[in-house]
Amino acid sequence: MKKETLFTILCYLLTLPTFIIPLFVFSTLPSSLSTEQLLHQDVLSDLKFNRDPVIEPNLYHSILKFIPSQRLLGILLFATILFLTFALLKEKKPLFRILCTFLLFLTPITVGAALYDAQVLLFIALLLAALYFFKKQKTIPTLLVFAAYSTASIAHTLLGILVLTTYAVFTKGWKDSKKTLLLTGSTGLLTALLSKAPLFYSYYAEQLSLSSLFVELGAKRGVGVFFITLAAFAIWRLWSKHRSSQVVFALTILSFALTPYLGDFAIALATFLLLPYAAWSLHHLLTQKWESPFFYYVGICALICGLLFTQLAYLDRAYTYLPDQAALDALSFAKEKTPPNAVIFSHPQNGYLIESIADRKAYTTTYVTSSSDPRFKLKVSDLLFNERNFEEGVALIKSAGITHILITPHMKNGQIWYRDGEGLLFILRDKNTFKKIYSKGGYDLYEIQ
């Protein structure tokens, strides 16, 4: 049996834990609780935003109305991305294509997003689909898919145009694809403007630093050092021979720089830009002649185990990462001092902690299902976050069935508000309606009277 075949079998055997372990963990997690119809859409017609919404419902939330759960959607999108990656590399050698798909299983952002943040993969899949149709010179499908992709944000659109342009210049030739590219870019920008897409998708992310980018340095989301090392080696070897590697390097740096504004999408895009280069390095190591078969297999296995370790470390951190002590104290208090039928309103990212630690129903959570319209609930959440009219705010809170409101330090420091007294914080000053029953470590819990 050829060594490439043995290596391929070994690769896929090693990747099994990266899906089996997370799926087992997720089988024990509580799903979002279904809720009755909270409010008729007409109630929202007279309420206005005081500023731009902090949560932007988009195409992803519309799709969730027809898919049973976010987790299923994530797995379907991951499978779609695997297919598109394989199709885009059709002209490459079979081993190279296998290595690319194999690396997708061992890059933290892809598998992690498939299991807990499918929104990232949706727009990556749309961009890859647009690139695939662009490659096949299918103008209409390219325009339609890229238009759907452009509804995320203007920044998404511009990055997508840069990716398509890079591919056109270095693969298809600028003259042969200039008209299609200009038409696609114009359609994308027009769609983004007509759909009132934000400049950046409203997303709270950590400040850009090495510790926020690399999993081994503690990033909750990021890339692995082994993956970056493989990609960097390929770019270094190809730097002078292929100018495209220089452009991809610049696009990767730009994607990483946009992480504070685009969150996981920027990291995912950088990962896909570097993916062929990381695969090239693996292919180079596999096909070159080694004097000792023993060192060959030991070296390759060590590299694969390093990639596997990065993935498992990322998944372990993503699923078992506990909030700080101040958050635990606040959630424990909520569990002890609020009635079992309480509905706690907070940022959607806090929903899972509310339901798992406080054991109370969260009004919004990122783990949504099709049992309720996620776009509608995000719309209500945005109205509440921005509302400064006391009567309208209280009416909306009571109509939504909210009994308690949890405010966290992140929410008060950029995740939603920047100054004291903005939006909902102004309404919460009324002590006759909102009784502050907990305030410690930056966490405030209000009870609706």
Task: Give residue-wise pLDDT tens across range 18-68.
Answer: 444 444 434 443 333 332 333 333 333 333 333 344 455 677 767 776 776
CA distance 341 to 222: 38
Residue 317 pLDDT class (50, 70, 90 cuts) = low
pLDDT-above-90 percentage for the chain: 0
CATH architecture of 325-448: 3-Layer(aba) Sandwich (3.40)
Question: What local confidence, expressed as pLDDT, does residue 235 receive?
Answer: 82
The answer, yes or no, to whether residue 13 has pLDDT greater than 70, is: no
Question: What local confidence, expressed as pLDDT, does residue 163 receive?
Answer: 85
Between residues 20 and 110, which one has the greater pLDDT?
110
Among 120-124, 315-319, 358-362, the least confident range: 315-319
CA distance 449 to 398: 10
Output b/e per residue, 26-56; b: 16+ Cβ within 10 A: eeeeeebbebeebeeeebeeebeeeeebbbb
Question: Which tens digit of pLDDT belongs to each residue from 379-428?
Answer: 778 788 887 788 888 888 888 888 898 988 888 887 788 777 788 888 88
pTM: 0.65
Average pLDDT over residues 61-90: 78
Between residues 144 and 229, which one has the greater pLDDT?
144
Q: Where are the domains of the chain?
A: 3-30+67-320, 325-448
Return the SS3 of 447.
strand
Tell me what the pLDDT averaged over the chain comes to.
73
Question: What local confidence, expressed as pLDDT, does residue 311 receive?
Answer: 65
Question: What local confidence, expressed as pLDDT, does residue 134 receive?
Answer: 87
Residues 6+ apart with CB under 8 A from 13: none
Question: What local confidence, expressed as pLDDT, does residue 43 receive?
Answer: 37
Residue 207 pLDDT class (50, 70, 90 cuts) = low
The answer, yes or no, to whether residue 148 has pLDDT greater than 60, is: yes
Question: What local confidence, expressed as pLDDT, does residue 170 receive?
Answer: 73
Residue 220 pLDDT class (50, 70, 90 cuts) = low
Return the SS3 of 186.
helix
The answer, yes or no, to whether residue 216 has pLDDT greater than 60, is: no
CA atoms within 13 A on the CB side of 250: 9
Residue 200 identity:
F
Average pLDDT over residues 178-191: 84
Average pLDDT over residues 209-235: 68
CA distance 340 to 324: 24
Assess contact for 348 and 364: CB atoms under 8 A. yes
Among 69-73, 143-147, 291-295, the least confident range: 291-295
